[in-house]
Amino acid sequence: MHDRKSAPFEDYLHELLESLKPLDAGEVASYIPELAKASPDGCAISFATIDGEVYSVGDSETLFSIQSVSKPFAYAGALMRLGQEALLKKVGVEPTGDAFNSIVLDEVNNRPFNPMVNAGAIAVSALSEGDSQSERWAHVVDLFSRFAGRRLTHDNSVFLSESATGHRNRAIAYLMLNTGMIDRDPEEVLDLYFKQCALLVSTPDLALMGATLANNGVHPRTGEVLLGPAEVRDVLTLMMSCGMYDYAGEWSYEVGLPAKSGVSGGVLAILPGQLSIAVWSPPLDEIGNSVRGIAACRRISGDFGLHQFMNAATVETVVRRETRASAQPSMRIRNPRERDLLATHGGQIGLVELQGALYLASAERMIRQLQDLTSSVSHLVFDMRRLRSVDAAAQRFFESFLRGLADRNVEVAFAEVHSAGGAAAPVLTKIAEACAIRVFTNVDGAVEVYEERLLETVREPFDATRYGLGNLELFKGLNRAQLRMVEAMIQPMQFEANDYVLRRGRPGTMAFVIARGSVSVMVPNASGDNIRVACIGPGQFFGEMAVLEGGLRSTDIVADEKVVCYGLSAEHLKELSVSDPEAHSVILTNMVLEFSNRLRRSNDIIGSLQ
């Protein structure tokens, strides 16, 4: 099993296991003497996702004989070798309504009703590949081992016990020999069938076998294609209609997942496109299904709305992108000191962009995928604009995940919730309220807030003070006399929050340098609404292009808070070019260097988005 896990899923499975322990109904199967030796207290649950992650609780290392849970996989192997048409001549696909070991055949075709009852499974065993018994057994072991992803062995004691007491199965085999459904020695066929049922598996093995069916026939870990889509369809259809014997109708109604049970206590359920569930608990009900296994699957399906006719999702990578503020900083234009500090410490701010549908399996994958990122950040921003839906199962696990982050002092923010899909936005709002998550209009606003908090903890005290001219990047390199000359030219100005410092379309007559506070650069979008494209903070300048070019302002500049800045007019710059060309040259050089830095920063951000 992988080392990285999703704590919310593990917590749920532990809670589920504890809830099953008080169930003491049912009896361990005794008609096969070796099975009667199983402890009635044994219990294990495993989930396996279609990308190969396995979650297990309880006695998950305990090996038990696979018994009738082998039937879908044996049938799958026969389908791949012989095809549907040939196989239908030997085994039907109709539910029986009878017990799994009934001695009855389809009266019209003289064939077993379906491959999920003993008669059908024996008929499938008679079709096993190989010219000798040993060769046929080797093919059976190989098939099941490929589904499990490891080499399987069988329990010889269970095999011998089953062979010694399998009189009803002998009656079935000889009946089919009489009707022509099998053409091999019935004892050889039964020998193969009993050994198949005695193959030893654990719940993680069984879950990975089921996950191969959930993954459209591709093994989640080995990548081997074991079945085609058509064969997967046929197997899952039979599991849904016949896999739980004469409990199949009620199971389909209540749980709604393709499934198969076995008399050793195993139950395997499949959620196509997402995951599989394997449960083992030996006590059986009167039909022959595990009491705790049925209870576990019923609760899982109910808790997460997994009923097939309520769920048509397939797993997609819900994390579209994950990065850090060191690679994708906010649009706030900063001084070199702040840029250096954020380049060093910005990795503490994580950014995650979600997409598509968030449901049980995609939530599990998301939480697992974010383990590395969330273990090394102090702040985390979720961009929700491309998320279209969040179901009840995902909501439950997402909330648990977020509370776990809060316990580790990771502060989380949601952004673009209003832009999420219609079905997602209300759920995300509920999650934010339940977990005390701050919601921002856009990602940039959230990142900027977290950057400021980060800078407050790492920057020098000087950075929080009002800037003098000599400390402003625009005037760096000027000597004292030149600074005094510039000081006489500049015009101190003050603006309140939401004041317009500059208006788009008006003539540019003055450049500005911020001494305290910050301003936002606003441009109209396609619908004419103003959107924020950048933020400019202390030590940074703006409005210089229109001054240098003599044109009109291209953006609105709005004060975010109380702002103190210095204005340097176009006339004063022109005067400076005459009275002190060196000082004029230094200022222009500083402008060019800052333009270069801004361009490089923009390229880095664009590169990080690719």
pLDDT in tens, 242-300: 898 778 888 988 999 999 999 999 999 999 999 999 999 999 999 899 999 999 999 99
Q: What is the mean pLDDT of the chain?
A: 88
324 vs 315: CA distance, rounded Å: 25
In this predicted structure, the answer to whether residue 1 has a pLDDT above a threshold of 50 is: no
| Nearest C-alpha neighbor of 466 from the set 415, 427, 517 | 517
Whether residue 511 sits in one domain with residue 421 = no
Domain boundary among 265, 289, 310: 310
Highest mean pLDDT among 111-115, 150-154, 503-507, 563-567: 150-154
Q: What is the mean pLDDT of residues 212-228?
A: 96
Please tell me whether residue 560 adopts helix, strand or coil conformation.
coil
* Same domain? 428 vs 490: no
Give pLDDT tens digits for 131-152: 999 999 999 999 999 999 999 9
Secondary structure (3-state) at 316: coil
Displacement of CA 339 from its chain's centroid (Å):
33
| pLDDT tens-digit readout, 225-237 | 999 999 999 999 9
What is the SS3 assignment for 152-167? Answer: CCECHHHHHHHHHHCH
State the pLDDT at residue 4.
Answer: 45
DSSP for 92-131 reads: -----SS-TT-----TTT-S-S-TTSHHHHHHHHTT-S-S
Are residues 564 and 432 part of one domain?
no
Most confident of 93-97, 457-461, 464-468, 519-523: 519-523
Is 120 found in the same domain as 42?
yes
Work out the percent of the chain whose per-residue pLDDT is above 70. Answer: 92
Domain that holds residue 364: 319-458
Inter-axis angle of helices 118-125 and 71-82, to 10 degrees?
Answer: 40
Q: Does residue 2 lie within any of the structural domains?
A: no
pLDDT higher than threshold 90 for residue 312:
no
Burial of 98: CB neighbours in 10 Å, binned 0-12, 13-18, 19+: middle
- Of 458, 476, 500, the domain-final residue: 458
Residue 503 lies in a domain: yes
Helix (H, G, I), strand (E, B) or coil at 86: helix
Instruction: Judge if 451 and 521 occupy the same domain.
Output: no
Q: Which of 67-71, 133-137, 583-587, 591-595 has the lowest mean pLDDT?
A: 591-595
Residue 1 domain-assigned?
Answer: no
Q: Which pLDDT does position 135 carry in this prediction?
A: 96
| Cα dihedral across residues 582, 584, 588, 591: positive or negative | positive
Percentage of the chain lying above the pLDDT 90 cut: 56
| Model confidence pLDDT, tens digit, residues 69-92 | 999 999 999 999 999 999 998 888
Closest C-alpha among 11, 5, 7 to residue 303: 11
Query: Do 393 and 506 have their domain in common?
Result: no
Can you tell me which residue has the tokens 């990047």? 473
Band of residue 96 on the pLDDT scale cut at 50, 70, 90: low
Q: Which of 552, 587, 594 is nearest to 566 (CA)?
A: 587
Residue 18: which CATH number?
3.40.710.10
Token look-up 């840029």 returns 339
What is the C-alpha separation between 381 and 606, in angstroms, rounded? 19
Please enumerate in sequence order all residues whose Cβ is within 8 A of that of 428, keeping only pairs 6 or more positions apart, or say none.
384, 387, 390, 414, 417, 420
Q: Where is the domain boundary, 437, 458, 479?
A: 458
Listing DSSP states for 9-38 in one string gives HHHHHHHHHHHHTT---SB---SSTTGGGS
Most confident of 128-132, 314-318, 431-435: 431-435
Q: Is the domain of 254 the same as that of 349?
A: no
Q: What is the pLDDT of residue 399?
A: 95
Active site residue ranges: 68, 71, 193, 245, 263
Please give the full DSSP string across 485-547, using - where no structure is assigned: HHHHH-EEEEE-TT-EEE-TTSB--EEEEEEES-EEEEEE-TTS-EEEEEEE-TT-EESHHHH
Report pLDDT for 361: 87
Residue 105: is its pLDDT beyond 60?
Answer: no
Across residues 547-556, what is the average pLDDT?
A: 80
Q: Answer yes or no: is 46 within a domain.
A: yes
Tell if the pTM clears 0.85, that is, is over it: no
Does the pLDDT at position 548 exceed 80?
A: no
Kindly report, residue by residue over 154-206, the tens digit of the pLDDT.
999 999 999 999 888 999 888 888 888 888 999 999 999 999 999 999 999 99
Q: 118 with 182, same domain?
A: yes
What is the pLDDT confidence band of residue 3, given thresholds at 50, 70 and 90? Answer: very low
End-to-end CA gap in the chain: 33
24-63 pLDDT tens trace: 999 999 989 999 999 999 999 999 999 999 999 999 999 9
d(CA 439, CA 385): 12
519 close to 563: Cβ distance less than 8 angstroms: yes
**Parallel, antiparallel, or unpaired for β 438-440 and 491-495?**
unpaired
The domain total for the chain is: 3
Same domain, 195 and 84: yes
Residue 168 lies in a domain: yes
Residue type, 265: G
Residues 400 and 504 in one domain: no
Question: Could you tell me if 107 and 238 lie in one domain?
Answer: yes
Please state, in angstroms and rounded to a whole number, the distance separating the CA atoms of residues 121 and 413.
55
Residue 472 maps to which CATH number? 2.60.120.10
> pLDDT at position 147, please?
98
Backbone dihedral angles phi then psi of residue 55, each to the nearest 5 degrees:
-115, 130
Tell me the average pLDDT across 376-398.
93
Q: Is 399 domain-assigned?
A: yes
8 A C-beta contact, residue 482 and residue 580: yes
Residue 339 lies in a domain: yes
Please indicate, yes or no, whether residues 495 and 447 belong to a single structural domain of this protein.
no
Q: What pLDDT does residue 435 have?
A: 96
Contacts of 160 (CB under 8 A, 6+ apart): 34
**116: which 2 tokens?**
């999920």
Angle ∠(171,174,179) on CA atoms, nearest 5? 125
- The length of the chain in residues reads 610
Residue 81 lies in a domain: yes
Residue 430 is part of a domain; what is its CATH number?
A: 3.30.750.24
**pLDDT given for residue 43 in this prediction:** 97
The tokens for 285 are 């009900």
> 402 — phi, psi (to 5°)?
-65, -40
As a whole number of angstroms, the distance between CA 354 and CA 382 comes to 7
Evaluated on CA atoms 303, 307, 312, 317, the torsion sign reads positive
